[in-house]
Amino acid sequence: MSTEAPIHDAPAPFSGAADAENADRPADFILRSCDGLDFHVHKDILKFTSDVFDGMFAVPEDTGGSDPRRDGKPVLVVPESQSALHKLLCLAYPADLHSLDSYTLGEEDVDSIVAVYQAADKYQFHRVLRLLRNMLGQPALIDAHPYRLFAIAKICGLGESARKAVLSTLRSPINAPAAFPEMRCLSWEEGHKLHRFHHMSPIHDAPAPFSGAADAENADRPADFIIRSCDGFDFHVHKEILKFASDVFNDMFAFPADTSGSADPRRDGKSVLVVPESKSALHKLLCLAYPPDLHLLDSYTLSEADLDSIVAVYQAADKYQFHRVLRLLRNMLDHPALIDAHPYRLFAIAKICGLGVEVARKAALSTLRSPIGSTAAFPEMRCLSWEEGHKLLRFHRRCGERAARIVEQNRILSIAPVGGEAPLRFHVWAIRTGHNHAHCATSESHWSQWFLNYIGQLATRLQIAPSHCTVESLKLAPADRELVERCSTCRADPNRERDFENFRGRLADSIKASHEDLGTLNCQGVFVLELIDGNSAETYFDFSL
């Protein structure tokens, strides 16, 4: 004769017991795990966090049915265990999102992570799925349990985490891991593929000067350590140089190496450290870190080819605390020629790497030299949000409107500035009574036609490229020069050319000066790039210092 398994209440906060937090909002639904624990939950929270429960509760409840009830609450029996259900609901219920986003899974969490992920997927807890993907992609967790994380990622369909875990397995021998529960969920074929990858992954020596080959320079001081890139290149390096250049390696080498029974790989008697950086990034990082001719490096200008891996190099230098390399890279990236050649890309790199306010500010202002949106796509675009890109375009457009207004305001300046006791002198294009401008007069009686044509063209160009360079590059059109020559008054004025060039110069200076005051440091220590028109200000970028 069979007896029903006893029903118990789940641990807090799903026990159903009254407490100060839930006194005014008692649970109104029960989820019963397959091993007999009742989780007292709230329908509204389940509806908000789960598409499946949202659809379920949209249908009116049939109170006359045969579904179990307890204490007046409907009971839904689910196939998940108490452990999986408790972790799922803890992630689903409102929490401190920041603490969850930065939470690192422990080994005890990993034991039920597949069941939790599959339950979140089954009931469509989308926020929980996103949190779990972030947690399972953490480098520290992958490096601590690469084989197990590979299996978990394959079972849960997390391709990027699986790829990272495969690369992390290269840090240790293939027979190093103990058996773990998820092994039974993968086929022998999948495990065999991992074995083959591990054995067949070719290891190459890095290019000189990190190839390990004997040469005249290193004959009396051979390399004593190997850094292996994620794509299988061995960099033969010197511990003493790494200790001097990097705080992280200095701390690492402060502890004696454990060569007895260690699972860490070795080659030619040297310890091997496998890192997630690529050959390209690692080579550039080490070239900058090794003692070179400092004067040459300080004056080196980065090329477009160098930019392709600059973010990875900078982030690696920051990660391993190569402080001198970071300083060199900041100086190289803060180069006027580089910023003017690639302003949009340098703006993105400055934001991603946190280079400080000046590089990003200079790059944002340099975008004003070219038409809005004229840049080709570049790799760093994918690292910034659409919102940040849109802010840059809006900033460009507003600067164009502002520059066009400056042109209109300066148009009315009809008196040439003079020094000393000289009398005031009018520009020749400012038509006055008694001066015959028969061939260049306009319906707007105060200005010559050729001058108004130039002002109109300039205002249009500045809305597209609102920089002082636009003023400096736009000359008087041939048709307008003909108007000047046909007008005896304009043609005969000895000061016309000089006055017009001075006017253009003052106009360019006014536009340039209007950009100089863009950017302030607010009381919270945040640099704000903004436009101020009259009494209103619009903020475009905040750069945390």
Per-residue pLDDT, 286: 93
The answer to whether residue 458 sits within a structural domain is no
Edge-to-edge strand order for the sheet containing 270-274?
204-205, 233-237, 225-228, 270-274, 266-267
The answer to whether residue 62 sits within a structural domain is yes
The answer to whether residue 472 sits within a structural domain is no
The radius of gyration computed from the CA coordinates of the chain, to the nearest angstrom, equals 35
Do 298 and 357 belong to one domain?
Answer: yes
The answer to whether residue 475 sits within a structural domain is no
Per-residue pLDDT, 325: 92
Do 170 and 33 belong to one domain?
Answer: yes
Q: Which burial class, exposed, middle or buried, applies to 237 when counting CB atoms under 10 A from its CB (0-12, 13-18, 19+)?
A: buried
Q: How would DSSP label each residue in 59-98?
A: SPP-TTSS--EETTEEEEE-SS-HHHHHHHHHHHS---HH
Do 139 and 248 belong to one domain?
Answer: no
Do 161 and 235 belong to one domain?
Answer: no
Per-residue pLDDT, 296: 52
Do 281 and 242 belong to one domain?
Answer: yes
Domain count, the chain: 2
Distances (CA, A) of 73 to 26, 34, 36, 39, 69: 11, 18, 16, 11, 5
User: Which has the closest alpha carbon to 220: 205, 238, 243?
Assistant: 238
The answer to whether residue 442 sits within a structural domain is no
Per-residue pLDDT, 536: 47
Per-residue pLDDT, 3: 53
Residuewise pLDDT in 10s, the chain (545 residues): 445 668 888 888 888 876 556 667 888 999 999 999 999 999 999 999 999 999 999 888 766 666 788 888 999 999 999 999 999 998 998 764 444 555 566 667 788 889 999 999 999 999 999 989 988 888 888 888 888 888 899 899 988 888 888 877 776 666 666 788 888 888 777 777 777 666 656 788 888 888 887 655 666 788 889 998 888 889 999 999 999 999 999 999 988 766 555 556 778 888 888 888 889 999 999 999 987 654 455 556 677 788 888 999 999 999 999 999 999 999 889 988 999 999 999 999 998 998 877 888 888 889 999 887 777 888 888 888 888 888 888 888 888 888 888 888 877 765 555 555 555 667 777 766 555 555 676 555 577 888 888 989 999 999 889 999 999 999 999 998 988 888 888 888 888 888 889 889 988 998 888 876 665 433 333 444 454 444 444 455 554 32
Do 56 and 195 belong to one domain?
Answer: yes
Residue 207 · residue 255 · CB < 8 Å: no
The answer to whether residue 157 sits within a structural domain is yes
Domain extent at residue 218: 204-255+264-395
The answer to whether residue 84 sits within a structural domain is yes
Do 321 and 244 belong to one domain?
Answer: yes
Prediction pTM value: 0.59
Choose the final residue of a domain: 377, 395, 413: 395
Distances (CA, A) of 526 to 193, 352, 390, 435, 522: 51, 16, 20, 57, 6
